[in-house]
Copies of this chain bind each other. A is one copy, B any other.
């Protein structure tokens, strides 16, 4: 940042009075430009494939950074929307996917890039296709996940937590319809909410 967005004069990088952090402050009108972390909202979409097995939908990135690597639908939350609306919008934009009810699943602070990931989990019909930001969209079982081709560490964490939690839920609940490889709505609500940080 070089110029004040209020009056157009130059800014200086100083700690304002009664503050303890460096801010960009206008040399002329003294306006303080606060900069704060961004939220990335996304979803781990569960879809029953034609073979009756519930799989994870992933997208291969058509944009930088990490062009060509696999990710879950996610992107910057916009003003004037809720977290669920942001995650739903990203799923449509990246995979033309219409999700049902979402459940908050992973909250991850990435302090080294000033981002907080808010990942939901949700079920959807087997109807999707690459949006403009995706080269490819595909369903994966745990063993099929391209673990060495994932876009970001937080995506790996989300997938690992999911398969671990799912395995625990399945072993706890032998009455559910796990023979079909599909989680019930009750199972979905049994997922814990994870809160953690990833440091560089």
Chain B nearest Cβ from A110, distance in angstroms: 8
Chain B nearest Cβ from A19, distance in angstroms: 11
User: In chain B, what residue has the closest Cβ to A197?
Assistant: B82
Chain B residues contacting A116 (CB-CB under 8 Å) are: 39, 77, 83, 118
Interface-facing stretch out of A5-13, A53-61, A134-142, A149-157? A5-13
User: In chain B, what residue has the closest Cβ to A6?
Assistant: B2
A→B interface (CB under 8 Å): 1-11, 18, 21, 24, 33-39, 76-85, 103-104, 107, 109, 111-112, 114, 116, 118, 132, 193, 195, 197
- Given contact pairs A2-B8, A104-B107, A193-B193, a sample of 14 additional A-B residue pairs in the complex whose CB atoms are under 8 Å apart: A2-B5, A3-B3, A8-B8, A18-B132, A37-B78, A80-B111, A81-B109, A81-B111, A82-B109, A82-B111, A83-B116, A84-B197, A104-B193, A107-B107
